[in-house]
Copies of this chain bind each other. A is one copy, B any other.
């Protein structure tokens, strides 16, 4: 395997990121990779917010993974800063390659650099492989995640 680079996403990465969001059991019904317009608007919002860190993993010039890290300052736990990992996707060709681990480890290291004390994420209850993956990396499944579409 050639070297992996994890770097800030640019607008040029959008087609590859959206393709990965859509190439997923749950994402397939929720995304519209043929029309990037809403994603371009959303990218501008993310890119303009200093607390959002949207990254891609690139190998041999191909975009093979992505995640978004959000910094959330809070009062609880003596004023802790926490980060939230969202939208983790690994290209189908790279699943099982250890890239997921490298991306999450990047997110943990970057969270430390940002002054965070806690990294958190939610995972759909049906993604049992993902749950084992996060537990192997030291995450504790202590919470339930609730969602309300509005």
Interface, chain A (partner B; CB < 8 A): 14, 17-18, 21, 27, 30-32, 38-39, 41-43, 45-46, 49, 51-52, 54, 68, 70, 72-81, 84, 86-87, 108, 111-112, 116-125, 131, 134-135, 137-150
Query: What residues of B have a CB within 8 angstroms of the CB of A75 in the complex?
Result: 14, 17-18, 21, 39, 42-43, 46, 54, 68, 87
The contact sample of 6 A-B pairs, CB cut-off 8 A, is A42-B81, A75-B87, A108-B150, A131-B146, A135-B146, A140-B147
Contact between A118 and B142 (Cβ–Cβ < 8 Å)? no
Residue of B nearest to A134 (CB): B146
B residues within 8 A CB of A143? Answer: 122-125, 144-147
* A142-B87 Cα distance, complex, nearest whole Å: 16
Residues of B within 8 A of A81 (CB): 42, 45
Assuming the A-B contacts A72-B86, A76-B87, A118-B150, are A51 and B51 also in contact, with contact meaning beta carbons closer than 8 angstroms in the complex?
yes
Residues of B within 8 A of A52 (CB): 72-73
A120 to chain B, nearest CB (A): 5
Shortest A94–chain B CB gap in Å is: 19
Which residue of B has the minimal Cβ distance to A87? B76
Contact A148 B144 (CB under 8 A): no
The answer on a CB contact under 8 Å between B145 and A142 is yes
